[in-house]
Structure 1
Amino acid sequence: MTAKPRYLSIQYLRAVAALMVVFHHLRDPKPWLYNPFENFSFGAYGVEIFFVISGFVIYTAARQEPVGEFVRRRIIRVVPLYWLATAGYIAIDAVSHGVAYQAASLETIVKSFLFIPHFHPLLTDQVLPYLIPGWSLNYEMFFYALFAVTAAFGAYRLGILLVLLVLLVALGALLSPLHSPLALTYTNPLILLFGAGLLIAYGERLGRLPKAAALLLFISAPAVLAIDWLSGSMLHLLPAIGLTLGFVALEHHRRLGEVPLLRLIGDASYAIYLSHFLIIRIVVVLVQHLPLSGPPQLIILLATGLAGSIVFGIAVHLLVEKPLIRLLNRRLLRKRQLPA
């Protein structure tokens, strides 16, 4: 069996996206914190990069997989760690009498585990699961389902999948305003980012990424910083697409070197993404009680929050995520090989 390609560009982008999200949650406004970044939400758009990456990876690594194999691999990759993180966060809130736990019903907790979009028990106007970073996984699982279903169309799969994504977004625009959490999620323009990732992967496979595409990296990077001015229109999707296309084109033309730490952070990006809320929670309590104020307090918060999230996420990746994936793959593979 041919080894599936691993792209340094994608691993680096995963690292960048994960750190953007951690930064975004660290700079959440707090009344006691000097914070010139509190009105800048560009870090949240790290998730948009993840969506483009997801489309790229699924097309590159899984387009020829049988549907059953594709579903098995995706579930093993995504579900167990998310369930562990959600259960851990619920347990911490239960012990500490957290307001989210007190407000949550059994229904919202079950829907969180099953990736069913629903309104948050506290942030009642937002479609969020109990573990808030998990909102993006509702989109991921929907995209995986579409990818699996469209396998029946063979060579036409890519085109049909792209048409479906566009039609869903168009339907959402026609029916706006929507009030169903399912409709709000599955017709959100964010799903177009998966399609962009598919197209970038298709172009890369055909060898049709021109050198000029690498320049998008240098155009899109500063555009991410200005993304607050692009919100409210689909223009805010462009920087994530440009960054991904630029990085992949750079590697395609052999202009990307090895950075071991960045690659490791990229490998651990899913673990960092799911666990950083816990680290931030601890860091915020510790920094709040330090005899500091003003810029030094902010610097300590950002430095310890980012470093702590990276170190803890890498530990979770190496000690929990990788062994768990190996174990589940081994168990399921052995079951499939048993005689009838």
Structure 2
Amino acid sequence: MRALAEGRGRGEPGPRLAVVDGMRLIAALAVAGFHYLSAIPHTLWGPSPKEFAYPLHHASMYGWLGVEAFFLISGFVICMSSWGRTAGQFAVSRISRLYPAYWCALVLIVARIALIPMQTHDVAAVIHPRIVLANLTMFPDALHADLLDGVAWTLAVEAHFYLLMAVLLAFGTTYHRVMGFCVVWLAAGIVTSETKSKFLDDLVLSQYAGLFVAGIAVYLMYRFGQNLMLWTLLGFAWCYELAMLPIRLSGHYQEWGSKALCSWTVASALLTAFLALLLLATIGPLARIRWRWLMTAGALTYPFYLVHQSLGLPMAGELTVHAHWLGPWGRLALTTVSMLLLAGLIHRVVEKPIGRALRRRLDQALDRHPKQPADTTAQPREA
């Protein structure tokens, strides 16, 4: 999920795309807005968000689209960062990028559950060692364990995308191979939708394939220049994704009920506007912006996304009980700022140093050729 400074002009290094970094934080704040103002108990802030922040509450009902925005950006960024790498090098970059902050967030979440249980559930059962170990892998659902970090399901979707990219990297990245990969992926998504195969759906990510492919198409434009074929691919991917959007809307309504009842028209318009912003930020005039604060915002995005729900909501509940004098707006602002500050601390103390050290060690392990053992097999003597 990070905009890397690799670039345009057939592999020549290019400047960092600062606006793409800023877009990532916008997406994270949109998801946080959904969790803080729409998908919550009415009493979390004291008065209901409908009472003290109705316009913001109504807008936050579409905040879950920030997840779709992440996947769109990921298609662009992962194609950029993986170009020309081997599957092993790509795996090293993803492991060192994602796991340190994720493990840190899990430690904080487990500590919070142990010290400040928010419900009447059995704390020992919730943070049972089996549950914690399953969550450490980042794939608790696949291991039949409950999520400790509520947003971690999106990381599993990202990991599926990485697996598909690793298969592509095994053959090497070229313009025509990546184009063919995108076409085959969209075709597989259509077949999956028609056959309603759960196995194929899990494999090809049919609900989100259009987002990832659209991001890849934008990167190909950024790297090789615009042409009719790439615009056709982008248009087809976007038509595919907007046609699949009702499935997400339906699933969202089943999970959240009337609190997340959204219009397909509005959701499609918002998502299309985000695609337009990505185009402006990569192949348009916004690509020239170099504001450092946008890059800082991008650095905060991942750790903020990890902690804003599982730590932010309990903090809001405690503030409502012990700092009622702040008022709902004050508690909302304090919770959001606190999660951003915690994200900055995780980035500086954990993500950067540990991620860098982990990457260095993994790179060394990847490059090391194990010595062949000496052949100690006894040879028969000549007669």
- TM-score, reference length from structure 1: 0.77
Shift of 1:188: 4.2
Within 5 Å, give how 1:1-340 maps onto structure 2.
3=13, 5-27=15-37, 28-31=40-43, 32-36=46-50, 37-38=56-57, 40-97=60-117, 99=121, 101=123, 102-103=125-126, 109-116=132-139, 118=141, 129-154=147-172, 155=174, 156-176=176-196, 183=201, 187-208=205-226, 228-230=262-264, 236=267, 239-240=270-271, 242-250=273-281, 252-255=283-286, 257-277=289-309, 278-292=311-325, 297-336=327-366, 340=371
Residues 134 and 241 of structure 1, relative CA distance in 2, 3 Å threshold: farther
Shift of 1:269: 0.6
Shift of 1:141: 0.4
Shift of 1:242: 3.9
Counterpart of 1:205, as a letter, is R
Query: Whole-Å Cα distance in 2 between the matches of residues 83 and 34 of structure 1?
Result: 33
Any unmatched runs of 5+ in structure 1?
Answer: 122-126, 214-225
Residues 172 and 150 of structure 1, relative CA distance in 2, 3 Å threshold: same
Residues 336 and 112 of structure 1, relative CA distance in 2, 3 Å threshold: closer
Counterpart of 1:114, as a letter, is T
Shift of 1:107: 5.7
Any unmatched runs of 5+ in structure 2?
Answer: 1-10, 51-55, 232-259, 372-383
Moved more, 323-332 or 245-254: 245-254
Q: What secondary structure does 1:309 align onto?
A: helix
Query: Whole-Å Cα distance in 2 between the matches of residues 318 and 241 of structure 1?
Result: 34
Shift of 1:186: 5.1
Query: Whole-Å Cα distance in 2 between the matches of residues 29 and 321 of structure 1?
Result: 32
Query: Whole-Å Cα distance in 1 between the matches of residues 134 and 184 of structure 2?
Result: 25
8 A Cα contact 1:172 1:183, kept in partner: yes
Counterpart of 2:302, as a letter, is Y
Query: Whole-Å Cα distance in 1 between the matches of residues 31 and 330 of structure 2?
Result: 18
Query: Whole-Å Cα distance in 1 between the matches of residues 41 and 320 of structure 2?
Result: 14
Moved more, 263-272 or 136-145: 263-272
Q: Sequence identity of aligned pairs in percent?
A: 24
Shift of 1:144: 0.4
Query: Whole-Å Cα distance in 2 between the matches of residues 21 and 59 of structure 1?
Result: 24
Larger radius of gyration: 2
Residues 5 and 143 of structure 1, relative CA distance in 2, 3 Å threshold: farther
Aligned length: 313
Moved more, 169-178 or 297-306: 169-178
Residues 60 and 291 of structure 1, relative CA distance in 2, 3 Å threshold: closer
Query: Whole-Å Cα distance in 1 between the matches of residues 261 and 277 of structure 2?
Result: 18
8 A Cα contact 2:27 2:69, kept in partner: yes
Query: Whole-Å Cα distance in 1 between the matches of residues 361 and 142 of structure 2?
Result: 36
Counterpart of 1:261, as a letter, is W
Q: What secondary structure does 1:65 align onto?
A: coil
Query: Whole-Å Cα distance in 1 between the matches of residues 346 and 86 of structure 2?
Result: 30
Shift of 1:239: 3.5
Residues 129 and 241 of structure 1, relative CA distance in 2, 3 Å threshold: farther
Residues 291 and 69 of structure 1, relative CA distance in 2, 3 Å threshold: closer
Deviations 1:269-326 (A, max 9, x none): 111111223134213311343345xxx8332132112211222111211121011111
8 A Cα contact 1:33 1:297, kept in partner: no
Residues 236 and 158 of structure 1, relative CA distance in 2, 3 Å threshold: farther
